[in-house]
Structure 1
Amino acid sequence: MAERQIWSSRTTFILAVVGSAIGLGNLWRFPYVVYTNGGGAFLIPYLIALLTIGIPLLILEMGIGYRTRSGAPRAFSRLLGRKYNLFGWMMVLVAFLIVTYYGVIVAWCVDYTVFSINLSWGSDPPAFFYDSFLNISDAFDGIGSIDIVVIGGAIVAWLWIYASVFKGVISLEKMLWITVVLPWILIIVFVVRGITLPGAMDGLAFYLTPDFRALLNPDVWVAAYGQIFYSLSLATGVIIAYSRLIGEKQDLVKNGIIIALANSFTSIFAGLAVFSTLGYLAHTSGVEVTEVVKGGIELAFITYPSVINALPIMPELFGVLFFLMLVNLGISSSFSIVESLNAGILDYVKKPEWVVTGVICIAAFIVGIIYMTNGGLYMIDLVDHYLMAYILPFIGLLEVVFIGYLYGAPKMRTFINRYSDLHLGRWWDYCICFVVPVFLIFALCLNVYEGIFQPYGGYEMLDNIIVYLLIGVIFILAIFMSRLIRNSDDDVDSEVPGDMDSEH
């Protein structure tokens, strides 16, 4: 087997992880979460969450990847025993489910980049998005026909993703300078343009004006911890996969801090672009900012096209650049997930990386066709909600319990400190063993309680049950994969960097 590639420099590794973390959610989710959870006051619990869960978990997963030089399944097998590769397969298969619908959202962005050339959405962006573009059905079970335009965008998106990953680190590093650096440049352009528009300050006031009473609401703290957890690509195997390729001379702790701060800064800074332009839209529409503030998909594909229509100068150019930025954000997150899948599979299947990558991309494209139908938007909404509200927190909880108590947080901290100039203290152990589990248990219990008494999104109970069954299939497949390849696992703690005998 060919020698494993490694990142050519510390900079490219940081760019790779930052590119995975800074996705579409940073642009359309974070600003809305800030606005609805106390404005500027939200930054207090957000920064506390960054210090107590974001940075500790990020460093933990970097340590796991670097310690084992493996993807998630074999990593947990080597650290804890062969039967624990089940947990790694859970990570990998959930990541696969995420990328099947994430790729479709990227396809929408590709299509809207083309639509921006002549502002195809016209004077009624909502009707264009729901009726003309998606031809959305009236209910979840109204799958209907496949949208050919979305299929075309998806083909472009998946070819781009494949081109980014098929040669491993060699192709990844080349693509990073486009998919990570370009969005940063464009965000700066949008901030500068946004704050110079009439009404921009009204939008920024709504975004950042602190409401310190919100700090007494436990939901605000859950939102802060949840945003950190989701935005750093934790519990999906991505950080583990990328970290297995770190060179010998690295500083794990400093890298983790830089990545976490870069992600958070980008989220906050992108909010300036979002709310300044929303303030402009409110100004031109003669309504309050609260009437145009939306989060999620509606912000990107309905609200922003309305803003673009109202721009007095070169709206077409602004539209192309905006959706091109979304495409790049989505591509960088998508190919990081594909690399996580690659890492898990290539540890066991001795095939060329370009072949495995191709199979993954084709499989994700085929599964994603269900999201390209008239009922696809409903399916994306439901699957994304249950993955983010239940499955990822559950996987994160298992991760910190397994490493914190079975492997030992102090043992992992000793290893990480050996490869870091900036050393972790015992506070890190307390975060991994107590703070993170307590938050995740509280968040899971709160989500389960709300889910029992009020099914998500007003959908019928049957619709929710269908998604439960879909996620259940993921866990069944994880068990199948674990048992299928368990006997091929290496011995625990084999093939790790450095002489670790002193730890045993």
Structure 2
Amino acid sequence: MFGSYNRFQNKVYKDAMFVSSLDFITSLIAGVVIFSVLGNMAEELDLDIRNVAKEGPGLAFIAYPEALSRLEWLPQLWSVLFFFMLFLLGLDSEFALLETFLTAVYDEFPSSRRHKVPITLICCIICYFLGLPCVTQGGQYVLNLMDTYGGGYGVTFIAICELIALMWGYGVNRFCDDLEFMLGTRPGLFWRACWLVISPLVLVFIFVYSFWEHKVIKYGENYEYPVWADGIGWLLALISMCQIPLWGFFILLRNCWNVKKVVTPESSWGPGDSEARIKYFQRRSTGLVMTEKLESQGIDNPALMIESNVK
């Protein structure tokens, strides 16, 4: 989704490597901090480290504040900085998640970009009310249910469908041709093998194994969710997973007399930048390898031009 804001020839793989490297370093530093704090607490309390804190929110809101309170130099200041860091972390995560949804809306309805502020405000208000149950007395149970079912199964299933549709439906060679046209370099054999075979197999294994090992979730050691709550969790998972097969069946049913139309791209498909679009289809029609460097630096998403014109 964020690619909509990039120039057509933006070296997106460099951005991906940079962000992934920062994420790896941050996780490494956080792991060192967490285990050093837990180890010190386990030593002082004379407990096994597994009994000091459990995974999840308890680690951030129980174990860490306890550790910060034991600091000799200004524990109040470190506590304020720690929770302010958590606030910023949640805020920037919310930006990314909300912008992903809003970009899909703007791309589908380009005219809505003229009303970006009120649409964003309405979405934020809706998300605020949807999040209120998580801060009630039973909010931790609701949060645990949403965290377990709302992400894991749905994200894995969607990733499997995307890989199969793109690499086996659209074609890995055609996809590599598009990347070569856009970036000037062609993905190597390793990446093609991962996209075509390795990643789908690994994700399918994880998805099937998760179903096989599934048990009714618990909160803590003793509380087991009732059957109706487990059903609500599966409903949350199915809301995202069923979108792909249901809409696919609907489109196939609507075009049952012309199945070829179902797998034929729309007329608007292709690069959004006008100069890149012309050269792209010229290359495809002649069957040449797309290695020519483009001079155009236009934004790939034509919907963004509406916002530029408004400004």
TM-score bracket for the superposition, by shorter chain length: 0.7 to 0.9
C-alpha contact 2:157 2:241 (8 A) present in aligned 1: no
Residue of 282, 287, 303 corresponding to 2:63: 303
1:284 aligned onto 2:60? no
Cα gap change, 1:313 to 1:283, in 2 (>3 Å):
farther
Cα gap change, 1:423 to 1:265, in 2 (>3 Å):
farther
SS of match in other structure, 1:244: helix
Deviation at 1:476, TM superposition (A): 6.8
Deviation at 1:407, TM superposition (A): 1.1
Corresponding residue for 2:187? 424
Q: Distance in 2 between matches of 1:448 and 1:407?
A: 29
Q: Distance in 2 between matches of 1:399 and 1:477?
A: 13
1:496 aligned onto 2:272? yes
Corresponding residue for 1:339? 99
Cα gap change, 1:370 to 1:251, in 2 (>3 Å):
same
1:378 aligned onto 2:141? yes
The one-letter code sitting in structure 2 at the alignment partner of 1:312 is E
Residue of 1, 6, 10 corresponding to 1:250: 10
Deviation at 1:362, TM superposition (A): 1.1
Corresponding residue for 1:325? 85
C-alpha contact 1:284 1:310 (8 A) present in aligned 2: no
Q: Distance in 2 between matches of 1:388 and 1:342?
A: 19
Q: Distance in 2 between matches of 1:383 and 1:403?
A: 29
Residue of 223, 229, 234 corresponding to 1:468: 234
C-alpha contact 1:281 1:307 (8 A) present in aligned 2: yes
Q: Distance in 1 between matches of 2:101 and 2:250?
A: 18
Cα gap change, 1:427 to 1:346, in 2 (>3 Å):
same
Cα gap change, 1:358 to 1:432, in 2 (>3 Å):
same
Cα gap change, 1:423 to 1:326, in 2 (>3 Å):
farther
Deviation at 1:393, TM superposition (A): 0.3
User: How is 1:19-418 mapped onto 2 (pairs within 5 angstroms)?
Assistant: 241-349=1-109, 350-351=111-112, 352-418=115-181
Deviation at 1:492, TM superposition (A): 5.0
Aligned residues: 260
The answer to which structure, 1 or 2, has the higher relative contact order (CA under 8 A, 6+ apart) is 1
The one-letter code sitting in structure 1 at the alignment partner of 2:197 is F
SS of match in other structure, 2:183: coil
Q: Percent identity?
A: 24
The one-letter code sitting in structure 1 at the alignment partner of 2:280 is M
Deviation at 1:374, TM superposition (A): 2.1
Q: Structure 2: any 5+ residue segments left out of the alignment?
A: 219-223, 255-264, 286-311
SS of match in other structure, 1:500: helix
Deviation at 1:423, TM superposition (A): 4.2
Deviation at 1:249, TM superposition (A): 4.4
Cα gap change, 1:468 to 1:289, in 2 (>3 Å):
closer
Q: Structure 1: any 5+ residue segments left out of the alignment?
A: 1-240
C-alpha contact 1:254 1:422 (8 A) present in aligned 2: no
SS of match in other structure, 1:347: helix
C-alpha contact 2:163 2:196 (8 A) present in aligned 1: yes
Q: Distance in 2 between matches of 1:437 and 1:293?
A: 35
C-alpha contact 2:134 2:143 (8 A) present in aligned 1: yes
1:456 aligned onto 2:217? yes
TM-score w.r.t. length of structure 1: 0.47
